């Protein structure tokens, strides 16, 4: 699939997920202003509760002391990271996404939260030249959708100031996969529109090649909601029985659900890890 075709497909994918969330939330999903983060919840070590804000706290701790923040969220979704970390850390934030609906919702929420002067959103690919340089770049569960991760990292790092931080949080493949893990990884990548899912080592190599020294590699998989492989097998079998949903044109919703379950099984089995990489621009 070409770059333009891939962008169209991922945009349709996000739109289908949005419409499904509207239906299942009785048309109230995203209706109120808020910092909507669409990445996975993690366990808060201090409270034991699961929250999608835990990763923001970990990022805030990783960038403590870097000075004034001028940040880019590469693949910002509905803007939750920019809005939440903008309140926590201050500074200036720019979120980019190729999905027009996500930009509209993020901008609406920034206005409603009275932060539109410091938090902005534009519709743009993270593979295109950016409007300025940054002291911090974050990509949470977004860069895995790149069709050419090395080129994506090189483009983003080219807009990172010397000494700036580049933080990637994503599902990264382990180095040696069993046949079943390889099959799960291939199916997940197809269903979630991840054409080139790198390993942990490959992500680190891309950062190093782009002029960034990797200073931290934190495996956060133990903070995810734990389920056993038999539980995953049963869930995947049940989710696969989706003929009615497919018949009414919601195949992409089923793709997202089955893909998510395959990824969870892959993580439980050790074939994938949920990792935060923190790099510094040389």
Domains and their CATH numbers in the chain: 3-281 (3.40.50.150)
d(CA 129, CA 142): 17
Higher pLDDT among residues 52 and 161, named by residue: 161
Higher pLDDT among residues 110 and 231, named by residue: 110
> Which tokens in the block code for residue 248?
């009414």
Beta-strand relationship, 160-173 and 272-281: antiparallel
Q: How confident is the model at residue 214 (pLDDT cuts 50, 70, 90)?
A: very high
As a whole number, mean pLDDT of residues 160-169 equals 98
Q: Which residue has the tokens 């983003």?
A: 156
pLDDT at residue 11 greater than cutoff 90: no
d(CA 141, CA 223): 16
Please report the pLDDT score of residue 270 as a whole number. Answer: 94
d(CA 67, CA 56): 17
pLDDT at residue 29 greater than cutoff 90: no
**Spatial CA neighbour of 170 closest among 143, 146, 202:** 143
pLDDT at residue 162 greater than cutoff 70: yes
Backbone angles phi, psi at 44, to 5 degrees: -80, 120
d(CA 276, CA 59): 9
> Which tokens in the block code for residue 208?
């190093």
E strands, the chain, in order: 42-43, 50-51, 70-74, 92-97, 119-123, 134-140, 160-173, 212-219, 272-281
Considering only 55-69, 77-91, 216-230, which range has the smallest mean pLDDT? 216-230
Q: How confident is the model at residue 132 (pLDDT cuts 50, 70, 90)?
A: very high
d(CA 263, CA 242): 18
d(CA 37, CA 34): 9
Contact (CB, 8 A) for 79 and 71: no
Q: How confident is the model at residue 96 (pLDDT cuts 50, 70, 90)?
A: very high
Please report the pLDDT score of residue 182 as a whole number. Answer: 97
d(CA 211, CA 137): 14
Contact (CB, 8 A) for 194 and 262: no
- CA dist 273 → 40, 195, 201, 278 (Å): 13, 18, 12, 15
Predicted TM-score (pTM) of this structure:
0.88
Backbone angles phi, psi at 281, to 5 degrees: -70, 130
d(CA 84, CA 90): 10
Higher pLDDT among residues 66 and 6, named by residue: 66
DSSP string, 64-94: TTS-S-EEEEET-TTSHHHHHHHHHH-SEEE
Mean per-residue pLDDT of the chain: 88
Please report the pLDDT score of residue 241 as a whole number. Answer: 64
Please, is 107 exposed, middle or buried when counting C-beta atoms within 10 Å of its C-beta (0-12, 13-18, 19+)?
middle
Please report the pLDDT score of residue 12 as a whole number. Answer: 67
């Amino acid at each position: 699939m070409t770059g333009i075709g891939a962008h169209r497909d991922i945009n349709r994918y996000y739109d289908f997920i949005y419409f499904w969330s509207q239906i299942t939330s009785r048309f109230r999903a995203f209706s109120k202003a808020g910092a909507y983060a669409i990445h996975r919840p993690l366990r808060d070590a201090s409270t034991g509760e699961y929250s999608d804000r835990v990763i923001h706290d970990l990022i805030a701790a990783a960038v403590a002391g870097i000075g004034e923040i001028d940040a880019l969220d590469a693949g910002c979704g509905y803007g939750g990271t920019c809005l939440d970390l903008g309140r926590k850390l201050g500074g200036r934030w720019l979120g980019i996404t190729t999905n027009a609906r996500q930009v509209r919702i993020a901008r609406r929420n920034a206005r409603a939260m009275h932060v539109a002067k410091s938090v902005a959103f534009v519709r743009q690919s993270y593979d295109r030249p950016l409007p300025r340089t940054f002291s911090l770049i974050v990509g949470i569960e977004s860069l895995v959708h790149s069709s050419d991760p090395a080129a994506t990292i090189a483009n983003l790092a080219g807009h990172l100031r010397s000494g700036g931080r580049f933080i990637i949080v994503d599902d990264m493949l382990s180095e040696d996969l069993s046949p079943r893990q390889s099959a799960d990884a291939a199916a997940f990548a197809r269903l979630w529109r991840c054409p080139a899912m790198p390993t942990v080592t490959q992500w680190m190599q891309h950062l190093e090649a782009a002029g960034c020294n990797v200073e931290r590699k934190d495996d956060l998989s133990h903070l995810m909601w734990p389920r056993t492989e038999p539980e995953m097998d049963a869930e995947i079998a049940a989710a696969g029985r989706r003929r009615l949903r497919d018949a009414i044109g919601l195949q992409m919703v089923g793709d997202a659900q089955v893909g998510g379950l395959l990824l969870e099984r892959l993580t439980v089995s050790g074939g994938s890890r949920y990792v935060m990489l923190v790099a510094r621009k040389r």
